[in-house]
Amino acid sequence: MKETIIDKIPAESHQDLPESALIFEIAAEVCWKMGGIHTVIASKAASMVQTFGMNYFLLGPYSDEVDYTGVLEEVDPETFPEAIGKTITALRKNSIDVHCGYWNIPGKPKVILMNIFKLVEGFEDKQHWLMEQTGVEIPLSKTIHRYINFGFQLTRFFEVLQSQHSDVPTIAHFHEYNAAYAIPIIKEQTDQLGVTLLFSTHATIIGRHLAYKNDDFYQRLSSYDFEEEVTTMGVKNPNAEANARMERFIAQRCDLFLTVSEITALECTHLLGRKPELITPNGFSTGKATDKSREAVRSQILGAFKKHLPDQDIADDPMICLTSGRFEVKNKGYDMVIRALGQVNQQLKKAESGRQILLLMVISAPTLNYTGFRLSLETLKVKIQHRLKRLFGYSKQAVVSHRADTIWDYDPLLLEIKKAKLHNYATDQVKIMYHPDFVKAGGEVFDLDYSELIKGCDLGMFPSFYEPWGYTPLECLFSGVSAVCSDSSGLYQFALDNLPAQDNERLFVANRRAGDDEMSVRQMAEIVLNYQDALHSNQEMPAQDKEIFHWKNLIANYRIAYGLAYEQRQKQVQTT
């Protein structure tokens, strides 16, 4: 195994925090699932609790629009450590709506949530002050205003805590810019607070934007001019410009800057103007146990296809391919997957092969929020279109698993599917199902959690163009399912450096950094066509190999980061 991030830190920097140190991790997705940060925070919670014990807390926003039933077990602040309980009580007396309790996930971490819908007193003046201090023009956006409000709420939390507990080292680790507005507020307004501030970016706003716009993103990375690019971005999207500028400001003002992979560190260095001091690779937990066998899961997947395509013959043992994730057609590489399977379909038909391949796309798609009479009309229109197009052409209902009436006719995924001629005709040997929601037990199509769904597949396809880490291929490998990742993902380099050869044989690589889409499509088509079950049997990754990615081992990087940040912070205090 090659060196890990721990090996790259000088031995003299391995300073442990005092045992009394309070650890606060702050993220927008604490008890609130919106994307990948939720996976990071939730999957490592048990290991963080085990490592830092009663001194570990999660801080996040509370939303009036979220149902916390079964997620948050609220308790009286007095059940928390005395200083924390008193701080929460003081904030409530100061008209800040604070909720506290335990997050119902493995480890049951203590959480403190602040209602971002209730603005702090004097919010407009405070926001104007923040604009003056950072030089960032803040647009009229309710979402941005709420996270700025969260920043002022957090600042007040640490002020009150420090007023009664100033002798205890306090670590505040912020994940992503939207949860980190407190960093510039604390630095510009109350830097005398004895709080050590760390910031982790899991992807940059400007990087994601540029990758979407430019096929030669990686070739040009070192030559992009941040000011020019962010100003251009702001012409059409002033919110994104404000967020990108604030992200850069936060990265430059925090005490210690972290990211999750080598490729994202390079991106941060060029686009945010600061090289991350440490890389903290994302880990994995074993997740909840399931008694569902691979055969049972495959049966459910095949049943869903048969129900969706009742007039067609679905083979008893087809090859099942899976792709999934957030709705970013280019950056996540869904366009490449669809084009590759389109080529496979044409080749199989030409060869008159009897082989059948099913492509399952589990992607949370934006919805048309029709209600009442408008929804009834749209549903009727879709049904009529479907009946006509089954006779004369393409139908979105033929490929969308459910709620087709809420999917935009010009959904970019549907357009790619149409261009690839994956119509789900009887003559097609590649059948496709576009499932426009994340899967969960009791769902409309599958009664499966995502971790269970994976087990029934043969090949995961995740050829992302822009992927700072990449959990999805790793989830497949953990379940004994082969996977395609890309050479532009953070996981790729980490796996290459750390995985034994026998596991790497089940991790195929699509070359995306070169920006040659045609080459990537051909590569993936060949992977599918040449895939053989006998060579890639669905045996779970060996336990000792899973340990490489397990949070209980990778949490050591966080302990080192906190110790290093605290040490640097103490040196700064002593010199001022």
Rounded (to 5) percent helix, strand, coil in the chain: 50, 15, 35
User: Which pLDDT band, with edges at 50, 70 and 90, does 382 fall under?
Assistant: low
Q: Write down the pLDDT at residue 413.
A: 93
pLDDT tens for each residue of 403-439: 887 787 788 999 999 999 999 999 999 999 999 998 9
What is the rounded distance in angstroms from the CA atom of residue 243 to the CA atom of residue 28? Answer: 14
Q: Write down the pLDDT at residue 495.
A: 87
Question: Which stretch of DSSP H or E encloses residue 319?
Answer: strand 319-325
What is the distance, to the nearest Å, from the Cα of residue 308 to the centroid of all Cα atoms in its chain?
Answer: 29
What is the distance, to the nearest Å, from the Cα of residue 571 to the centroid of all Cα atoms in its chain?
Answer: 35
Sheet of 256-259: strand order equals 72-74, 98-103, 110-115, 56-62, 22-26, 170-175, 195-201, 256-259, 278-279
Q: Write down the pLDDT at residue 402.
A: 85
pLDDT tens for each residue of 278-335: 999 999 886 666 778 999 999 999 999 999 999 899 999 999 999 999 899 999 999 9
Identify residue 264 by its one-letter amino acid code. Answer: T
Check residue 537 and give left, alpha or beta (phi > 0: left; psi -120 to 50: alpha).
beta
What is the rounded distance in angstroms from the CA atom of residue 372 to the CA atom of residue 365? Answer: 21
Q: Write down the pLDDT at residue 47.
A: 96
**DSSP letters along 421-453, please?**
T----TT-SEEEEEE-S---TT-SS--S-HHHH
Is residue 235's pLDDT more than 90?
yes
User: Which pLDDT band, with edges at 50, 70 and 90, does 373 fall under?
Assistant: very low
- Rounded to two decimals, the pTM is 0.89
Closest of 172, 217, 219, 224 to residue 193, by C-alpha: 172
pLDDT tens for each residue of 522-534: 999 999 999 976 4
Q: Which residue has the higher pLDDT, 376 or 469?
A: 469
What is the distance, to the nearest Å, from the Cα of residue 371 to the centroid of all Cα atoms in its chain?
Answer: 30
Name the one residue in this structure whose structure tokens are 């426009």.
436
User: Which pLDDT band, with edges at 50, 70 and 90, does 538 fall under?
Assistant: low
* Sign of the dihedral through C-alpha 181, 184, 188, 191: positive
User: Mean pLDDT for the chain?
Assistant: 89
Cβ-based neighbour number of residue 492 at 10 Å: 25
**DSSP letters along 151-171, please?**
HHHHHHHHHHHHHHHTTS-EE
